[in-house]
């Protein structure tokens, strides 16, 4: 299965380059990818079911590996973000899903709980303010900053605000 995964991961699919041919699947790669995904899903389902069976049959069960720990977390009622079986499968696979899908998932979670989104923005802003000193570009004075606004749904600046971020801390801390 891994050989086929690596092979299909590197193929040149005509439908990717000519979108109006994509639905035809001329080379059969999309069909093979869907079949491979189904095989991986069955494999991961088997692993999860096996671990669940051991968990339920053993008295005083203790997690022994990552799958056991993930299953224990999935059952935790105090967990703020619930782990689903698909989340567990993805973590077993090493998070091989694309960054875009992860971004979609995280945005959907943030939309469900707007207070988390606000906290995330505040933490990001605090890190930026704490980590850098902010200055105007060379030769620019505070009175040169134009503060004109443009009408719209949100107040926008007519001229972009320009600031130069200079590291405040030793450079090795930024990596």
Residue 24 lies in a domain: yes
Number of domains observed in the structure of the chain: 2
8 and 93 together in one domain: yes
Q: With b meaning 16 or more CB within 10 Å and e meaning fewer, what string describes 49-76?
A: eebbeebeeeeeeeeeeebbebbebbee
Q: What is the pTM of this model?
A: 0.49
pLDDT in tens, 87-104: 888 888 875 556 667 777
Residue 73, pLDDT > 60, answer yes
Residue 119 lies in a domain: no
Residue 159 lies in a domain: yes
pLDDT in tens, 118-135: 888 899 888 888 888 888
135 and 92 together in one domain: no
Q: Tell me which H or E stretch contains 150.
A: strand 149-150
């Amino acid at each position: 299965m891994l050989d086929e995964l690596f092979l299909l991961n590197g193929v040149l699919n005509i439908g990717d380059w000519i979108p109006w041919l994509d639905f035809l699947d001329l080379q059969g790669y999309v069909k093979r990818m869907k079949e491979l995904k189904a095989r991986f899903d069955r494999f991961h389902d088997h692993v999860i079911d096996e671990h669940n069976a051991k968990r339920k049959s053993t008295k005083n069960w203790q997690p022994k590996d990552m799958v056991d720990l993930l299953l224990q977390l999935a059952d935790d009622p105090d967990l703020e973000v619930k782990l689903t079986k698909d989340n567990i499968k993805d973590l077993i696979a090493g998070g091989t899903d694309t960054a875009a899908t992860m971004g979609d998932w995280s945005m959907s979670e943030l939309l469900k709980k707007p207070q988390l989104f606000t906290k995330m923005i505040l933490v990001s802003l605090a890190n930026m303010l704490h980590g850098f000193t902010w200055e105007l570009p060379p030769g620019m004075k505070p009175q040169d900053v134009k503060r004109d606004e443009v009408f719209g749904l949100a107040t926008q600046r007519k001229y972009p605000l320009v600031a130069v971020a200079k590291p405040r801390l030793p450079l090795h801390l930024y990596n």
